[in-house]
Structure 1
Amino acid sequence: MKKIKIAITGGIGSGKSSVSDFLEKKGHSVLRADLIAKEMMAQDAEIKMRIISEFGDESFNGDILNTKFLAANVFNNEENVLKINAIVHPPVMEKINSLCTVIFKKKNIVFIETALVYEANLEDFFDFVLLVFTDQNLRIDRVLKRENLTEEQVRARMQFQIPDEEKKGDADFVLDNNSSVQELEKRIEFLLILINQLAV
């Protein structure tokens, strides 16, 4: 049996987490790069030191990552986004690789939820890329409902991501998420049939 790493990607508010949640419910292994990154930023002394060196002491409240400060001062500035990604991405991908090695002892497929596959040139790390595609206005509505952000802040984050329309041509699978949760789950079920065949 082949061992397969599949990226779940898409812009902010596209529904990556909904896809990941459903896959986990179906018994699949899902690694969430964002959660791993937050954990490592809080626990890895070298990463913490480099972030403080680059962005100042306000980046942390003691040992806790100051997400409010980072949102206001890092994620709305393209140069700063590139800087923090350069600090965080390499160790996070190394960690994900080691976790995949462990999971592959029991399973043939690992899903990795990560927003920046193409932006960070990570395509070669994965065997396949699954793009969760949602119209931009719907994505903005979803983010505004779940996070304490203004529409302007959401649009600012979007401008640092490659438009999903452009990613469609590069992705191996495109999962449309413009309708209901039930419809999304049906589409995931169908995709799983195809994906399971790839591991044979």
Structure 2
Amino acid sequence: MENTNNILVERKESIIYQLDKNNVGNGWIGGNAPAYFDDKGELLSEIGSDYNFYLCFVNPLDKNNMISIFIPKEYENRVSKNRYPNCSLQVFEHPISIESLDSTYTEFGIVKHYISEGLFVSEEKAFETPFFIKFGGNPFLIQEEKYYYEELEKNGYDFLCQIDEDGYPSGLFHSGTSLPFGFGAVYLYAIVTEDSIKNPIVGYWQYS
């Protein structure tokens, strides 16, 4: 991919994504989990029925793979374990997949929206532009405390992307549904090289 060095090494640029209700793009939020998980009960056995599917998006470094995130149904189970090494949010990288017909892990409070095609922007532009996902570059933190990321970096993890609730469009949630992260942001980390990522995880999430 062009600009990979600028995104993950020099971190001068990032890719930003928005949400759209109608145009199929690089994944989706809400709706059913990817069909990949239909016969992968062993992957989900650890999280079980206490989790909902949150979103999935195509890995821009490898268009054959997607990254899916599952979150605890109960807010208390999210906020009590909100950072590495005990973050309760679960990430899976897997082959690209269509949406399942199985609603086992569906969060019905979210109206399914699609994740747009990505747009390469400078870090300055990303800071000025509302986004839903920011891939690469540097994290825009809500809370600047080092304890969120010190141990991650010590163990070889680098920032991969963030999912920002400031980028939710109107109409994404049914009336009375609370925002999953208290109007916050989720920060994914991974073992990052110039042209690939390994072992993506949710490093932490923060709320305002």
TM bucket (normalised to shorter chain) is 0.3 to 0.5
> Which structure has the highest strand share of the two?
2
Greater radius of gyration (CA): 1
- Greater share of helix: 1
Task: Say which structure, 1 or 2, has more relative contact order (CA 8 Å, 6+ apart).
Answer: 1
